[in-house]
Chain A
Amino acid sequence: DVKVTQSSRYLVKRTGEKVFLECVQDMDHENMFWYRQDPGLGLRLIYFSYDVKMKEKGDIPEGYSVSREKKERFSLILESASTNQTSMYLCASTRQAPYEQYFGPGTRLTVT
């Protein structure tokens, strides 16, 4: 079975802190994604990566950056956390089309 793991289930950070969210997949998938999930808005794509060191902005990249140094690991970075970044963050991975995206359990981040 494909497994996507995320480093934390719950995280509390202070405004202005630098925050790292880690995601690891074990199925050699080329593509990895970071979404945020907010009530009434569904999932919105922040960034995705289609290969090591390759990345593209999604729909809401402002305030975020990403890093993919190894194929299995995709990190989301909040350079200076703000309260409006309080949300559920979901990581996903997939092979090339038309395969399904596999999701991690999510990290619920609270910025105070």
Chain B
Amino acid sequence: GNSVTQMEGPVTLSEEAFLTINCTYTATGYPSLFWYVQYPGEGLQLLLKATKADDKGSNKGFEATYRKETTSFHLEKGSVQVSDSAVYFCALSRGGGAQKLVFGQGTRLTINP
């Protein structure tokens, strides 16, 4: 079946550090891949996405590349800010018109000034 595995959290970094949050997936076919972010007290919002192999999604300084050969979609940012503190979810689409998603367990990120 379809599944998503994220690195265990919580992750704590200092401001301006380099960030990587690992995400690997198992899926049949060719899913689209997503990163969602949840800021404290809010719902999830889409951070970036990639719809086919070798696509790179990017937004707000974050990037992730769809790697079919390693079934991975790792999230990276070169220099994090305190405002990036949030929970990050990797997800894949199960296909079909309704776009059902399978989510990883989430990674809580805290950035210290």
Contact = CB atoms under 8 A, between A and B. Distances in A.
Interface residues of B, number: 25
Interface size class of A (residues with CB under 8 A): 20 to 34
Interface in B6-38: 32, 34, 36
Given A100-B46, A103-B44, A50 B103 contact: no
B99 A99 contact: yes
Contacts of A58: 100
B32 A103 contact: no
B61 interface: no
Contacts, number: 63
Interface string B80-94: 000000000100010
Interface string A82-112: 0000000010101011111101111000000
Contacts of B34: 100
B49 A50 contact: no
Interface stretch (A11-19, A39-47, A68-76): A39-47
Contacts of A43: 44, 89, 101, 103
B23 to A, nearest CB: 12
Interface of A: 4, 31, 33, 40-45, 48, 50, 56, 58, 90, 92, 94, 96-101, 103-106
20 contacts: A31-B99, A40-B105, A42-B103, A42-B105, A42-B106, A43-B101, A43-B103, A45-B100, A96-B97, A96-B99, A97-B99, A98-B99, A100-B34, A100-B46, A101-B46, A101-B101, A103-B36, A103-B44, A103-B45, A104-B43
- CB-CB nearest 5 A-B residue pairs: A103-B43, A42-B103, A42-B105, A43-B103, A100-B46
Interface of B: 4, 32, 34, 36, 41-46, 49, 51, 89, 93, 95-101, 103-106
